[in-house]
Chains A and B, each alone.
Chain A
Amino acid sequence: MFLRLLIESFRRQRRRKLLAALAILLGTTAVTAMLAIGTSVGDRINQQLSAYGANIVVYPSADTLEVRVGGIDIRPAAAGAYLQESDLTRIKTIFWANSVEDISPELPVTVTAQAGESAKSLPAVGYWFHHTMKVGTESYTMGAPQIHPWWRLRGQWPQDGALDQVAVGSALASELHLQPGSTVMLNGQAARVTGIVSAGDATDRTLLAPLALAQHWTGHPGAVRRVLVSALTKPEDALARKNPATLSPRMRDRWYCSPYANSIAYQIREAIPHSRAEQIRRIAQGEGTILSRISGLMWLIAAASLVAAGLAVSASMMTSVVERRQEIGLMRALGATGATIASLFFSEAAVLAIGGGLLGFACGSLLARHIGMQVFGSAIPIEPVILPLTLLLATAVAAGGTAPSLWRAVRVEPATVLREEA
């Protein structure tokens, strides 16, 4: 009998039910999409922030001081210690290897350029250019162009490992009248200029050589002066700032297993012998600030949307009960108890909530995908946990909207309500 009442109610009031279901559908669509955006915006923005380049630097622990003015290392080539290029693959074997997006080794060196009669000393830096790094079965393409996405190139990058190709910083190129395709004599050997780089910083006044060529010039095969690493990290919190040596074993594990810039640097230090790795605070801290602001903002917007959608949906549920006061009065007059009526109305609300909610979840997922493609160029994944969450919310909101008007409708004398209509 109860089931029949329920079915009849849906059959007879198709338009009203459709309206209520539409409200729930839209509400859950909005909530699903907002929750999906809220949960994934951190990752998306983090990927955007990798445009800032490296946030971790690795250098030899026995190194002398950097003598870097205006972005150019002017330390004599003989001074200081080196890291081994062959050790760099180990960075891709640390616990947070998947967070490491790019690795870019550097080897600064001074070369003599022959321009006509006069010789000129030029600062040069050896880099990887689209270097293929093989770790186990995976291979990655890494190097300076990837870690410095703001570098603009006219021409081509030198072949990685080539000994007769260089790229030239834009300021240096105009000083030496070099074009892509020109040839320049460097340390007595001819090298072809493949491209002109404008970076907007000191790099504009340097030569950019393949790492192998720079190693050839210094006479240290396999040597690397420092390594820039770009990793997706989690904003720093109180735990991140702790010194792992002072933590209890449990807290230390938690510190180690969180992708903080500090703990990734720590793992790199463990992986590469005789190295020091540190977060580049300017980038790491700035990224942390921006990341927490934007994800905080989107969470707050998602929460506000949730409340707004909830209130709007429960308002439409409320009116749909108010307009059925006479029906309630009639049921009461025919002897139905308050509990029976309540269970009928709540079942109706639940059916609407689950039906509308399922459909809304599907629409919301599609919408989130679409927004992700539009804004970030990649779809936003839907966490499966959002489905039960939205269904639960939809049911709660539908029941919450039904309850107050139902409560009032049940308490009114049936006769009063029915007479109102007579």
Chain B
Amino acid sequence: MSRSRRGLSAAKLLLRSLTFNRGRTAAELAALLVSAAAATALLTLYLSIDAKLHREFRAFGANIIVTAKSAAQPLPADALTRVRHTLPNGALAVPYAYAVAQTSNGASIVVVGTELPMARRINSWWQIAGNLPPGTQPAAALVGVRAQRALGADRFALTYNGEVLDLQTAATLTTGDAEDSRVYLPLAAMEAWTGVGPSTIEVDGSGDAASIQALIKRLQVALPDARIHPVHQLVEAEAGVVTRTRSLIFSSLLLISLTVAICVLATLTAAVLERRRDFAIMKALGASGARVGAIFFLETLTLAGLGAVGGYGIGSGIASLIGRYNFHTSIAPIASVALQVLVLNLTVALLAAAFPLETLRRMEPASLLRGE
């Protein structure tokens, strides 16, 4: 018998044996599919959760603050440009210029010049009623709700160093914090009126504590004269929550993979044991134990491979759905997960085939056939 003919007959044998009892094959394949899909989905989630969560934490706004070394001096004029050049894509930097002005009845009020559309993006919790004043209209302002109550009217005048500026409320701002007592102007209008330039730049860098530290180092190189520090309140709490969520997912990953793997083991073991008569007949017809064992292994491994391929697809799909549903962005399949899942499935299948085969090998075909 030539090698090619033997190969062909082995393939045929495999195909026959897989299609002969379709119910059993389907149950085995289904179990292997489920194990691969569950492992893929959880592994993919586990590996991409850090980035997803750190992005969500930007709901708390800027986590890096750039200020002048001493409160008296402003930041250099090109500070904002330098900061923005240093930042990775997608990270925001917003400048703020502060001045204390007087209202018409002599009360002090904080006026802030900033890039309003950017400030709104970085401060996602800002509740704004009305339309943001366009940068081109110098007389329109975003007024905090407490400031609005204190000013009493939509048209008001503020004085800074003897310079009077007539303003109109374009929108009101609610935050529940210091911003409520302030008046926000477009940066250009603020500079034209008071001559005060930005003294603070808020940056939202997304990532874990180490990458925030690295970003701070890079910013320090770009702006040696500035004080650059993380917002401890945000960075520490964020690290705590992300770490805990990750370990929770890891526990789930272990728990589910183990459960499903053992169920698969039980299913496959039962399926192999059930075929002890096939085994006995083959042996009685003169096949060596090794040969018969190889056929059984090949069969189980084929199913495991098919299960891994299908399960990887299904699991990646589930991870992506969870991402889209929960985080509103899809979670991309991770190629390295495919290999891990394949190894997992093959290991489970090998174990499942090895146990009963070892038992069967030691038995005489005759006693097996008699049903002992």
Contact = CB atoms under 8 A, between A and B. Distances in A.
A284 B176 contact: yes
B87 interface: no
Interface stretch (A103-111, A275-283, A336-344): A275-283
B34 A290 contact: no
Contacts, number: 246
A245 interface: no
Interface in B251-267: 251-252, 255-256, 258-260, 262-264, 266-267
B45 interface: yes
B100 A67 contact: yes
Contacts of B108: 65, 67, 75
Interface string A99-130: 00000000000000000000000000000000
B178 A290 contact: no
A290 B52 CA distance: 11
Interface in A139-161: 148-150
B127 A34 contact: no
Nearest to B250: A375
A214 interface: no
B110 A281 contact: no
A301 B24 contact: no
Given A65-B146, A280-B177, A319 B24 contact: yes
Contacts of A294: 53, 241, 245
Contacts of B147: 65
Given A319-B267, A375-B247, A375-B251, A312 B27 contact: no
B91 interface: no
Contact of A304 (B176, B270, B318): B318
Interface stretch (B1-9, B160-168, B288-296, B321-329): B321-329
A319 B125 contact: no
Interface residues of A, number: 79
Interface string B84-100: 00000000000000101
B273 interface: yes
A51 B237 contact: yes
B248 A23 contact: no
B100 A74 contact: yes
Contacts of A289: 56, 59
B266 A322 contact: no
B100 A26 contact: no
Given A26-B259, A309-B256, A375-B251, A67 B274 contact: no
Given A312-B31, A316-B267, 17 more contacts: A65-B107, A65-B110, A65-B181, A150-B236, A278-B176, A282-B60, A286-B125, A290-B59, A293-B327, A300-B322, A309-B259, A315-B34, A315-B264, A316-B270, A322-B24, A408-B23, A421-B277
Interface of A: 16, 19-20, 22-23, 26-27, 29-30, 33-34, 37, 41, 44-45, 48-49, 51-53, 56-57, 64-71, 74-75, 148-150, 199-201, 278-286, 289-290, 293-294, 296-298, 300-302, 304-305, 308-309, 311-313, 315-316, 318-320, 322-323, 367, 371, 374-376, 405, 408, 421
